[in-house]
Amino acid sequence: MEIPTVSVLADEEFLPFRENTFDLVVSSLSLHWVNDLPRALEQIHYVLKPDGVFIGAMFGGDTLYELRCSLQLAETEREGGFSPHVSPFTAVSDLGHLLGRAGFNTLTVDTDEIQVNYPGMFELMEDLQGMGESNCAWNRKALLHRDTMLAAAAVYGEMYGNEDGSVPATYQIYYMIGWKYHDSQAQPAERGSATVSFGELGKINNLMSQEKKSQ
């Protein structure tokens, strides 16, 4: 049985859907292209139904740090300064705050790193171009001189190269889950309502031992 689908071309910051439309919104490795991430998250929250969930994955701040560092060092040494040549990414410390500010609750944020080895820096850049992941910064420098690129490749291999001559490229992935509020969701207990203090947690093993002996 085929599930009917509809394709819609839309801007993440201005979703063309009514409030409380979807039970689930999924985003996979696309939010790093959004110009206004807080606005996009607010739009996702807006179109979710109460008790709806957003599940997303996006590239994190340490993505391609080897390439960024190599290009910056080479360009600074050869041309007296540098401009961004890799798209900007969000820090994980900001992501939970952005999700909470958009209205999500019961948040879960996790990170993972994937390393892919390439024969050299130029093969990595060719792969990024093939994936459509070239630098999207509007203030990026149009081109780099040939000697700067060669210097960056040498820096990359010297600083990060593997024993077999290949170079690693790190992709950091953030995974996130956030729910839209509904009365049926579990709520935290009121402050001061606890009947056991954290200071008593260390006594649990003793209490369990005594209970076993009494049985």
* pLDDT tens column, 162-172: 999 999 999 99
Which pLDDT score, from 0 to 100, does residue 69 have? 92
Pull the structure tokens for residue 99. Answer: 């999700």
Residue 70 CA to residue 209 CA, distance in Å, equals 58
How much of the chain exceeds pLDDT 90, in percent?
53
pLDDT in tens, 135-154: 665 556 667 788 989 999 99
Residue (of 48, 18, 56, 13) closest to 180 by Cα position? 48
* CB contact set of 36 (below 8 Å; sequence gap of 6+): 13
Which pLDDT score, from 0 to 100, does residue 122 have? 94
Rounded to 10 degrees, the C-alpha dihedral 57/58/61/64 comes to 110
Residue (of 201, 100, 120, 111) closest to 160 by Cα position? 120
**Residue 28 phi, psi (nearest 5):** -120, 105
Which pLDDT score, from 0 to 100, does residue 54 have? 97
pLDDT in tens, 150-189: 999 999 999 999 999 999 999 999 999 999 988 887 777 7
Which pLDDT score, from 0 to 100, does residue 163 have? 94
Residue 97 CA to residue 94 CA, distance in Å, equals 5
Confidence band for 80, pLDDT divided at 50, 70 and 90: confident
DSSP 200: G
Which pLDDT score, from 0 to 100, does residue 200 have? 73
Mean residue pLDDT across the chain: 86
**Window from 46-60, 62-76, 191-205 with minimum mean pLDDT:** 191-205
Which pLDDT score, from 0 to 100, does residue 137 have? 59
